A and B are shown apart, each in its own frame.
Chain A
Amino acid sequence: MQIKFLPDFQKLQRNLLLGIKELLQKRRHEQLSKETVETAIKVDEATRSAANLSSHINLFEEDETFTSGQNVRENFIVFSKGVIVFVSALFALILFYNFYLDLRLADNKADLDILFAEASQYEEERLLALQIDKKVSSYKNIVDNRKLFGNKTEVVLSSLAPGMEVLDFRIDEAQFVIVVKGTEVLSFSKLINRYLDSGLLAQIVLISADLSPSENSFTVELRGDFK
């Protein structure tokens, strides 16, 4: 019985193998997946063993490569996986560093608060020190101005002749005004000469000159502008 059906069976197997071969070639040209090819190889081997065919019937040519497109895709997959892992790892690393910076910021902020609270205890001393500093600055300013006016005042007053009486005297940085009472007219002329010779004054203005016959005295008001 088996011998009787053997030719038909072999014919059927050969037709089946030819059909599989055509199918594989068609799919190979369409660049289907490796799994399909492996499945086809398994089908081929199973069919070959079921048909008890000799191994000289080869569905695939040995020099045919199915792996050229596969290799490109595999490399691309490996590259994509590398990119995914690298970017994710970098992001995780930076994220952890960000958390680390947050912790350090919180620690430093706590230290700053402690130091600030400690410094706030000396607020009264700070205000006192500020007041003292202000007073010292004012004192220095006054002393400096006094020296400045002292020199000018000394020149103005030391130029007065004996017997002259100062009734009023005002001085600032720019000018001085003096009201002098005397008995001799010549002494006023000498006073003006001495002022001009001192080199401090740019000009002298005679504001007023009064004669008092009852006292036989002169009252002169002068203004001097400093250089």
Chain B
Amino acid sequence: MKAIMGSSSKFVTDLRRNLKNSEFAARLFGIWAVLAVVLFGFYGIRPLFQVIKQKQATLEKIREININLETFLKSSFIS
């Protein structure tokens, strides 16, 4: 247990020390930014945006159908 705690503490210390190293941090954050743009942007935001466009069109159609149907049901022909 002590060995595990010691190794984890050493890992954290090494990580903090490496993050203070600006060159390492620059590389790390650069790769992180590229991954964020590719994963969130290309594989996340782009398809999500297309899905949202389709959902908005469907929502507008359903709203229009609802309004027409409600108007028809409230018309004098039915009542």
Q: Which residues of A contact B (CB under 8 A)?
A: 31, 33-35, 70, 73-74, 76-77, 79-81, 83-84, 87-88, 90-91, 94-95, 97-98, 101-102, 104-105, 108-109, 111-112, 115-116, 118-119, 122, 125
Contacts of A73 in B (CB 8 A): 22-23, 25-26
Residue contacts A-B, CB under 8 angstroms, 10 given: A33-B21, A73-B23, A77-B29, A83-B37, A84-B29, A90-B45, A95-B48, A112-B62, A112-B65, A112-B69
Chain A nearest Cβ from B74, distance in angstroms: 10
Question: Is the beta-carbon distance between A101 and B59 smaller than 8 angstroms?
Answer: yes
Interface class of chain A by DSSP: helix
Besides the known contacts A84-B33, A101-B59, A111-B66, 6 further A-B residue pairs in the complex with CB atoms under 8 A apart: A35-B20, A73-B22, A77-B22, A83-B36, A84-B36, A91-B44
CA distance A69 to B52 in the complex (A): 44
Q: Which residues of B contact A (CB under 8 A)?
A: 17, 20-26, 29-30, 32-33, 36-37, 40-41, 44-45, 48-49, 51-52, 55-56, 58-59, 62-63, 65-66, 69-70, 72-73, 78
Question: Is the beta-carbon distance between A77 and B45 smaller than 8 angstroms?
Answer: no
Contacts of B52 in A (CB 8 A): 94, 97-98, 101
Q: Which of A94, A105, A122 has the most CB of B within 10 A?
A: A94
Chain A nearest Cβ from B69, distance in angstroms: 5
